[in-house]
């Protein structure tokens, strides 16, 4: 398929049945079709039988269209929403172990304050900072800390939620009327 | 009432309407086979290798329109089944496959005959289940059949740990299947259907391109109504053959890599192309940039992910082919109330004349010989002898393409071939399933000597289970399709393609209790086919054919459909083909 647009990052929210094997179905889909996941985070929702995955995928519009359709084709996937082009808030959490010699402890703390990062572990020679924010903010923080010496860092991957009062998925019900006549004696094709 | 899990499985199959299971027992499914011992109303056909159980279930499903069922044990049996599952996946065939599994407490322990069955089958099934609680047996089996047979059909795998089969549980049988995460869309969007009808009404060069979706939706009658109403020329994919009678004046036969010249030319020059239950497979499109470059494309498919996957589509219609065609016929009738413009009418007249010209200029053709049997001739005579009323199954290779080209298909659901996966060895086990689903009917497996050897052990099943499948081996002493590619594209560097005349097929047939016949001259062919059809037992008809014969037309992989090679090529054409080759 010819590319229709420049590749860019998309944030896709996927509501799935909270069953074992779902993560591997989603991951397997991406590897089988050659799409790259930049980040993936999963957690339970208000309804414990539903999990929400937030995927960050890079692709042009055709790739993203296929990704969305293929995700939706998985039987355990309930709903797929591309949040990229609608108002949404996205956050990531990062834990950073940074060198903290007496000469630069003050500077680290000042930088942390600017970014509203917290110190969650202290030793005579190191700090562990916890920071949350969107990708741009975290990159900026890392940029400032890098010259001081980052020893190790862990990122959660992105989570995202749509802005506004409307709840996307509170509870997912099966449709009241099934769309297919379902006579137990009939094993044939739909209807 | 409590009963062992194994018994629940059988009860559920019976309630689901299953009458036939293809299988092979083993350690982990012993409880099911024990329950089967005195269970009434379920026929079990014992195959000789597990993949055959899967293919037989496919043959059953394709010709009956019902879900095919197979049952095998854990570990190696499940891995053997994988080929059949992927085959059903690619061709959208509804089967439910049960495998045994080691007891739940041993899962993950590298126990004897353990494999991560659901991990292995995940990418080659529409969905799969590992049953971890016996109370879920009924609901899972119910969902498995629902998922397999609805939406875009496909294989579903259910993995059954042995302890679940042994312990006693209550039979839970939900009257309805309701899944919040799975609700296929059946009715096409009315606005899009109207747009499609308008396009068709002003098309000067329309073509319908029909695939297996029309067969699985049982939409042949509706398709014919649309084609005849608008006098639209119609071409079928390998999977779609039989959806429309080949001898109908509007039929353009098959399109694609080994399709007819006139089908590929018509599609290439069309201005409106309506794809119905087809998926723009690379064997159909050739080079995608050069596929139907001037056409407005309408795509009717039940699977939204098929649409705009390979080719950008102007009018997408997601829905069941039959329901959409019913509405499209209505909408098109509405358009016909206003008279077609004179420009359109003149355009359509010229288009019909152009297509007639193409058909006249380059029909399917081969050079006749009095001495050696031409493989195309064999197919023609089978077609004549059966009048298109036999169930036809093939293996994979040259014989498959010749069958698609020269057999005059008349009815849907009478043709089984491995289209997407191209599984050699598919023929005999699938034909067994077809015969079991259609007792007393004539089932002919047209196979190659290479392909047939991959599952020839199933002759034993045919004999012992009373399945009188007729196999015609188009015997060219080698892997003919590979030979053809090496000849045309790899400069005649023949590598690993010779199959010496071993075994002796007649004696092999006899060793399995079947009847063996051999033909070496064209004059012997017709009487042999007649004798084969008249024989009540399973038959192998070994037809020794010209080994140099190639399948034409041929579009080299990655080439445009207009770059068809029509006749044995000259050196110049061969060099060009070698250059245009972009990978197989």
Got the DSSP string for B422-463? --TT-HHHHHHHHHHHSTTS-EEEEEEHHHHTTSGGGHHHHH
- What is the distance between the alpha carbons of residues A25 and A114, in angstroms, rounded to a whole number? 41
- What is the distance between the alpha carbons of residues B114 and B106, in angstroms, rounded to a whole number? 9
Q: From the centroid of its chain, how far is CA B224?
A: 21
Asked if B176 lies within 8 A of A76 by C-beta distance, the reply is no
Mean pLDDT, range A182-188, rounded to an integer? 34
Residues of A in contact with B149 (CB under 8 A): 187-190
A27 contacts chain B (CB < 8 A) = no
A175 contacts chain B (CB < 8 A) = yes
Candidates B183, B288, B310; nearest CB to A179: B183
CA distance B202 to chain A (A): 28
Asked if A32 lies within 8 A of B127 by C-beta distance, the reply is no
Report residue A171's pLDDT band, with 50, 70 and 90 as the boundaries. Answer: low
Among all residues of B, which ones are annotated catalytic? 50, 112-113, 162, 481
Q: What pLDDT score was predicted for residue B576?
A: 64
Residues in Cβ contact with A131 at an 8 Å cutoff, skipping those fewer than 6 apart: A93, A94, A96, A112, A115, A116, A117, A118, A137, A138, A141
Residue A55 to residues A47, A159, B330, B470, B515: CA-CA distances in angstroms? 20, 8, 43, 53, 60
Q: In terms of Cα–Cα distance, which of B421, B391, B396 is closest to B407? A: B391
Mean pLDDT, range A44-48, rounded to an integer? 93
CB B549 within 8 A of CB B542: no
What residue in B sits closest to A4 (Cα-Cα)?
B312
Asked if B118 lies within 8 A of A178 by C-beta distance, the reply is no
Task: Find residues 34-93 of chain A whose CB sits inside 8 Å of chain B.
Answer: 62, 65-66, 69-70, 72-73, 75-78
Asked if B305 lies within 8 A of A73 by C-beta distance, the reply is yes
Which two three-digit tokens encode residue A90?
């996205």
Radius of gyration from C-alpha coordinates of chain B: 25
ipTM of the complex: 0.89
Asked if B17 lies within 8 A of A187 by C-beta distance, the reply is yes
CB B13 within 8 A of CB B71: no
Residues of A in contact with B320 (CB under 8 A): 190-191
- Is-cis flag, bond preceding A148, omega within 30? no
Identify the sign of the CA torsion B26, B28, B30, B33. negative
Which two three-digit tokens encode residue A11?
């944030």
Q: What pLDDT score was predicted for residue B435?
A: 98
DSSP, res B318? E
Q: What pLDDT score was predicted for residue B242?
A: 97
Candidates B126, B216, B309; nearest CB to A189: B216
Q: What pLDDT score was predicted for residue B339?
A: 84
Q: What pLDDT score was predicted for residue B570?
A: 66
Rounded to two decimals, the pTM is 0.93
Go through B301-330 and write b for each residue having 16 or more CB atoms within 10 A of its CB, e for each that does not.
Answer: bbbbbbbbbbbebbbbbbbbbbbbbbbbbe
* Tally of CB atoms within 10 A around B116: 14
Which two three-digit tokens encode residue A102?
């007496």
CB B1 within 8 A of CB B138: no
Cβ-based burial of B33 (10 A; exposed 0-12, middle 13-18, buried ≥19): middle
- What is the distance between the alpha carbons of residues A68 and A81, in angstroms, rounded to a whole number? 8
DSSP, res B114? -
Element at A169 (helix H, strand E) = none
Q: Give residue-wise pLDDT tens across range A94-123.
A: 999 999 999 999 999 999 999 999 999 999
CA distance B48 to chain A (A): 27
Task: Find residues 103-122 of chain A whose CB sits inside 8 Å of chain B.
Answer: none
Asked if A173 lies within 8 A of B180 by C-beta distance, the reply is yes
Q: What pLDDT score was predicted for residue A4?
A: 62
Residues of B in contact with A173 (CB under 8 A): 180
Residues of B in contact with A73 (CB under 8 A): 303-305
Asked if B126 lies within 8 A of A16 by C-beta distance, the reply is no
- What is the distance between the alpha carbons of residues B160 and B137, in angstroms, rounded to a whole number? 9
**Proportion of chain A in helix, strand, coil states, percent, rounded to 5:** 25, 35, 40
Q: What pLDDT score was predicted for residue B248?
A: 97
Chain A to chain B Cβ contacts (< 8 Å):
100
pLDDT at residue A184 tops 60: no
Euclidean distance between the first and final Cα of chain A, in Å? 34
Candidates B145, B151, B305; nearest CB to A187: B145
Residues of B in contact with A2 (CB under 8 A): 289, 312
CA distance B213 to chain A (A): 11
Asked if B178 lies within 8 A of A78 by C-beta distance, the reply is no
Q: Which of A75, A78, A170 to mutate to test the interface with B (most CBs of B within 10 A)?
A: A75
**With the CA atoms of B56, B58, B59 and B60 taken in that order, what torsion angle do they form, in degrees rounded to the nearest 10?**
90
A186 contacts chain B (CB < 8 A) = yes
Candidates B127, B151, B311; nearest CB to A190: B151
CA distance B67 to chain A (A): 6
Q: What are the phi and psi torsion angles at B567 (to 5°)?
A: -135, 165
What are the per-10-residue average pLDDT scores of chain B (584 residues)? 96 97 98 96 97 98 98 98 98 98 96 96 97 96 98 98 98 93 94 97 97 97 98 98 97 96 96 97 91 96 93 94 98 92 95 96 92 96 97 98 97 97 98 98 98 97 98 97 92 92 94 97 97 98 95 88 80 62 46
Asked if B320 lies within 8 A of A70 by C-beta distance, the reply is no
The per-residue DSSP string of A76-131 comes to: TEEEEEE-TTS-EEEEEEEEEEEE--TTTHHHHHHHHHHTT-EEEEE-SSEEEEEE
A99 contacts chain B (CB < 8 A) = no
Candidates B16, B176, B308; nearest CB to A65: B308
CA distance B360 to chain A (A): 34
Residues of B in contact with A174 (CB under 8 A): 178-180
Asked if B149 lies within 8 A of A191 by C-beta distance, the reply is no
Asked if B65 lies within 8 A of A21 by C-beta distance, the reply is no
């Amino acid at each position: 398929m010819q590319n229709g647009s420049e590749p860019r990052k998309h944030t896709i929210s996927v509501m799935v049945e909270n069953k074992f094997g779902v993560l591997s179905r989603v991951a397997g889909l991406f590897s089988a079709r050659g799409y790259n996941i930049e980040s993936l985070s999963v957690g339970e929702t208000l309804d414990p039988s539903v999990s929400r995955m937030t995927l960050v995928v890079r692709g042009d519009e055709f790739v993203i269209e296929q990704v969305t359709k293929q995700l939706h084709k998985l039987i355990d996937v309930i709903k797929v929403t591309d949040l990229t082009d609608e108002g949404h808030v996205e956050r990531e959490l990062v834990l950073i172990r940074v060198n903290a010699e007496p000469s630069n402890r003050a500077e680290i703390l000042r930088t942390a304050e600017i970014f509203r990062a917290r110190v969650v572990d202290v030793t005579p020679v190191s700090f562990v900072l916890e920071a949350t924010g969107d990708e741009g903010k975290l990159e900026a923080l890392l940029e400032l800390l890098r010259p001081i010496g980052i020893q190790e860092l862990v990122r959660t991957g992105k989570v995202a939620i749509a802005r506004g009062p409307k709840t996307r998925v509170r509870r997912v019900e099966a449709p009241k009327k099934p769309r297919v006549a379902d006579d137990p004696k009939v094993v044939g094709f739909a209807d | 009432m409590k009963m062992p899990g194994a018994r629940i499985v059988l009860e559920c199959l019976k309630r689901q309407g299953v009458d036939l299971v293809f299988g092979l027992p083993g350690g982990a499914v012993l409880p099911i086979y024990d329950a089967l011992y005195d269970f009434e109303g379920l026929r079990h056909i014992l195959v000789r290798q597990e993949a055959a159980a899967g293919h037989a279930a496919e043959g059953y499903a394709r010709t009956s329109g019902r879900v095919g069922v197979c049952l095998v044990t854990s570990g190696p049996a499940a891995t053997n089944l994988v080929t059949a599952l992927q085959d059903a996946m690619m061709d959208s065939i509804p089967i439910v496959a049960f495998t045994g599994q080691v007891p739940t407490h041993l899962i993950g322990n590298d126990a004897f005959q353990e494999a991560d069955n659901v991990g292995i089958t995940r990418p080659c099934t529409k969905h799969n289940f590992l049953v971890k609680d016996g109370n879920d047996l009924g609901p899972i089996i119910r969902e498995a059949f629902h998922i397999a047979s609805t939406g875009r059909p496909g294989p579903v795998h259910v993995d059954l740990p042995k302890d679940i089969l042994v312990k006693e549980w209550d039979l839970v049988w939900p009257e309805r299947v309701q899944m919040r995460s799975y609700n296929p869309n059946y009715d096409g969007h009315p606005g899009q259907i109207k747009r499609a009808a308008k396009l068709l009404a002003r098309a000067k060069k329309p073509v319908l391109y029909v695939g297996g979706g029309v067969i699985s939706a049982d939409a042949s009658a509706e398709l014919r109504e649309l084609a005849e109403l608008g006098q639209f020329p119609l071409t079928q994919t390998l999977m779609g053959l039989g959806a429309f009678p080949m001898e109908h004046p509007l039929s353009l036969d098959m399109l694609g890599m080994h399709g007819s010249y006139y089908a590929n030319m018509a599609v290439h020059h069309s201005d409106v192309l309506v794809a119905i239950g087809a998926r723009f497979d690379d064997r159909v499109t050739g080079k995608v940039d050069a596929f139907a470059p001037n056409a407005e494309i309408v795509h009717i498919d039940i699977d939204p992910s098929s649409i705009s996957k390979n080719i950008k589509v102007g009018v997408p219609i997601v829905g069941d082919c039959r329901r959409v065609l019913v509405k499209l016929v209505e909408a098109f009738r509405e358009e016909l109330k206003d008279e077609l413009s004179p420009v359109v009418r003149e355009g359509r007249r010229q288009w019909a004349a152009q297509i007639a010209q193409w058909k006249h200029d380059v029909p399917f053709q081969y050079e006749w010989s009095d001495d050696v049997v031409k493989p195309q001739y064999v197919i023609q005579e089978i077609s004549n002898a059966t009048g298109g009323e036999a169930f036809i199954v093939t293996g994979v290779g040259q014989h498959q393409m010749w069958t698609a080209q020269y057999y005059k298909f008349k009815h849907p659901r009478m043709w089984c071939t491995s289209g997407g996966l191209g599984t050699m060895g598919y023929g005999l086990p699938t034909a067994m399933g077809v015969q079991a689903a259609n007792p007393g009917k004539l089932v002919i497996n047209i196979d190659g000597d290479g392909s047939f050897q991959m599952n020839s052990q199933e002759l034993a099943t045919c004999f012992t289970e009373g399945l009188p499948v007729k196999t015609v081996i188009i015997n060219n002493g080698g892997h003919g399709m590979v030979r053809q590619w090496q000849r045309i594209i790899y400069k005649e560097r023949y590598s690993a393609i010779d199959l010496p005349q071993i075994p002796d097929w007649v004696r092999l047939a006899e060793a399995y209790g079947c009847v063996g016949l051999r033909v070496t001259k064209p004059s012997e062919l017709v009487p042999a086919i007649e004798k084969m059809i008249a024989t009540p037992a399973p038959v192998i008809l070994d037809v020794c054919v010209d080994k140099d014969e190639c399948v034409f037309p041929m579009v080299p992989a990655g080439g445009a459909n207009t770059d068809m090679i029509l006749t044995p090529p000259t050196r110049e054409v061969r060099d060009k083909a070698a250059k245009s080759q972009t990978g197989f």
